Structure 1
Amino acid sequence: MTFELKMPKMGESITEGTIINWLIAEGDSFDEGDIILEVATDKVDNEVPASAPGILVKTLFQAKDVVPVGEVIAVLEVSEEVKSSNKTNVSSSAVETSQKKQKTPKRPKPVQQASASTSFSTSNSNTFFSPLVLEIAKEHHISFEELARIPATGHEGRLRKSDVFQYIEEGRPYKFAQPVAEKDPTAYRIPQLQFDKGKGKVIEMDRMRQMIADHMVYSKHTSPHVTAYVEADLTNMVNWRNANKVAFQEKYGERLTFTPLFVEAVAKAVKDFPNINASVDGNNIIVKEDINIGMATALPSGNLIVPVVKNADTKDLKTIASNVNELAGKARENKLAGDDIKGSTFTISNVGTFGSVMGTPIINQPEVAILALGIIKKRPEVIETENGDEIAIRSMMYLSLSFDHRVVDGFLGGSFVRRVADYFEQFDINRDI
Structure 2
Amino acid sequence: MGESISEGTIINWLVEEGDSFNEGDIILEVATDKVDNEVPAPASGKLIKTLFQAKDVVPVGTVIATLELSEAGSVSSDTPKAVASDSKSSKPKKQTKKPKAAPQPQVSTGSFSTSNTNTFFSPLVIKIAKEHHVSFEELARIPATGKDDRLRKSDIFNYIEEGRPYKFAQPITQDPTAYRIPQLNFDKGKGKVIEMDRMRQMIADHMVYSKHTSPHVTAYVEADLTNMVNWRNANKVAFQEKYGERLTFTPLFVEAVAKAVKDFPNINASVDGNNIIVKEDINIGMATALPSGNLIVPVVKNADTKDLKTIAANVNELAGKARENKLAGDDIKGSTFTISNVGTFGSVMGTPIINQPEVAILALGIIKKRPEVIETENGDEIAIRSMMYLSLSFDHRVVDGFLGGSFVRRVADYFEQFDTNKKI
Q: TM-score surpassing 0.5?
A: yes
Structure 2 counterpart of 1:179: none
Is the contact made by 2:3 and 2:334 (CA closer than 8 Å) also made in structure 1?
A: no
Is the contact made by 2:102 and 2:122 (CA closer than 8 Å) also made in structure 1?
A: no
Cα deviation, residue 146, structure 1: 4.5
1:335 to 326, 330, 345: 326
Indicate whether 1:105 and 2:99 are aligned: yes
The number of equivalent residue pairs is 402
Cα deviation, residue 112, structure 1: 5.0
Is the contact made by 2:269 and 2:278 (CA closer than 8 Å) also made in structure 1?
A: yes
Is the contact made by 1:223 and 1:404 (CA closer than 8 Å) also made in structure 2?
A: yes
Q: Which letter maps to 1:294? A: G
What are the within-5 Å matches in structure 2 for residues 267-306 of structure 1? 267-306=258-297
CA–CA distance in structure 2, aligned partners of residues 332 and 125 of structure 1: 42
CA–CA distance in structure 1, aligned partners of residues 226 and 120 of structure 2: 54
Indicate whether 1:387 and 2:381 are aligned: no
CA–CA distance in structure 1, aligned partners of residues 91 and 401 of structure 2: 50
Alignment identity in percent? 79
Indicate whether 1:242 and 2:210 are aligned: no
What are the within-5 Å matches in structure 2 for residues 61-76 of structure 1? 61-63=52-54, 64-68=56-60, 71=63, 73-76=65-68
Q: Could you say if the C-alpha distance between residues 70 and 106 of structure 1 is closer, same or farther in structure 2, counting changes exceeding 3 Å?
A: closer
126-135 or 331-340: which moved more?
126-135
Cα deviation, residue 389, structure 1: 2.4
Q: Could you say if the C-alpha distance between residues 163 and 357 of structure 1 is closer, same or farther in structure 2, counting changes exceeding 3 Å?
A: closer
Is the contact made by 1:11 and 1:337 (CA closer than 8 Å) also made in structure 2?
A: no
Cα deviation, residue 13, structure 1: 7.0
CA–CA distance in structure 1, aligned partners of residues 242 and 274 of structure 2: 50
Measured against aligned partners, the alpha-carbon deviations of 1:238-284 in whole angstroms (never above 9, x if no partner) come to: 11112222222232222211111111111111111122222233333
2:341 to 318, 343, 350: 350
CA–CA distance in structure 2, aligned partners of residues 72 and 196 of structure 1: 41
Q: Which letter maps to 2:100? A: K
Structure 1 counterpart of 2:176: none
Indicate whether 1:307 and 2:309 are aligned: no
Is the contact made by 2:35 and 2:328 (CA closer than 8 Å) also made in structure 1?
A: yes
Q: Could you say if the C-alpha distance between residues 70 and 135 of structure 1 is closer, same or farther in structure 2, counting changes exceeding 3 Å?
A: closer
Q: Which letter maps to 1:48? A: V
1:225 to 207, 210, 216: 216
Is the contact made by 2:279 and 2:336 (CA closer than 8 Å) also made in structure 1?
A: yes
Q: Which letter maps to 2:417? A: Q
Measured against aligned partners, the alpha-carbon deviations of 1:369-425 in whole angstroms (never above 9, x if no partner) come to: 211101111222222222322222221111111122232222222111111000001
Structure 1 counterpart of 2:175: none
Cα deviation, residue 223, structure 1: 2.3
Q: Which letter maps to 2:271? A: V
Measured against aligned partners, the alpha-carbon deviations of 1:183-230 in whole angstroms (never above 9, x if no partner) come to: xx9xxx996422111100001111111111122122222322222211
Structure 2 counterpart of 1:370: 361
SS of 1:214's equivalent in the other structure is helix
Is the contact made by 2:22 and 2:73 (CA closer than 8 Å) also made in structure 1?
A: no
Q: Could you say if the C-alpha distance between residues 132 and 266 of structure 1 is closer, same or farther in structure 2, counting changes exceeding 3 Å?
A: farther
CA–CA distance in structure 1, aligned partners of residues 118 and 291 of structure 2: 31
CA–CA distance in structure 1, aligned partners of residues 169 and 329 of structure 2: 37
Structure 2 counterpart of 1:260: 251
Is the contact made by 1:227 and 1:401 (CA closer than 8 Å) also made in structure 2?
A: yes
CA–CA distance in structure 1, aligned partners of residues 18 and 37 of structure 2: 23
Runs of at least 5 residues in structure 2 that lack an aligned partner in the other structure: 171-178
Structure 2 counterpart of 1:123: 115
Structure 2 counterpart of 1:182: none
Is the contact made by 2:351 and 2:391 (CA closer than 8 Å) also made in structure 1?
A: yes
2:397 to 393, 401, 406: 406
Cα deviation, residue 30, structure 1: 5.3
193-202 or 25-34: which moved more?
25-34
SS of 1:265's equivalent in the other structure is helix
Q: Could you say if the C-alpha distance between residues 168 and 388 of structure 1 is closer, same or farther in structure 2, counting changes exceeding 3 Å?
A: closer
Cα RMSD for the two superposed structures: 3.5
1:57 to 33, 40, 48: 48
SS of 1:219's equivalent in the other structure is helix
Cα deviation, residue 122, structure 1: 4.9
Is the contact made by 1:231 and 1:398 (CA closer than 8 Å) also made in structure 2?
A: yes
Is the contact made by 1:114 and 1:121 (CA closer than 8 Å) also made in structure 2?
A: no
CA–CA distance in structure 1, aligned partners of residues 304 and 192 of structure 2: 47
Cα deviation, residue 155, structure 1: 5.1
CA–CA distance in structure 2, aligned partners of residues 410 and 393 of structure 1: 32
383-392 or 265-274: which moved more?
383-392
After TM superposition, the score normalised by the length of structure 2 is: 0.82
CA–CA distance in structure 1, aligned partners of residues 355 and 2 of structure 2: 21
SS of 2:140's equivalent in the other structure is coil
Is the contact made by 2:7 and 2:57 (CA closer than 8 Å) also made in structure 1?
A: no
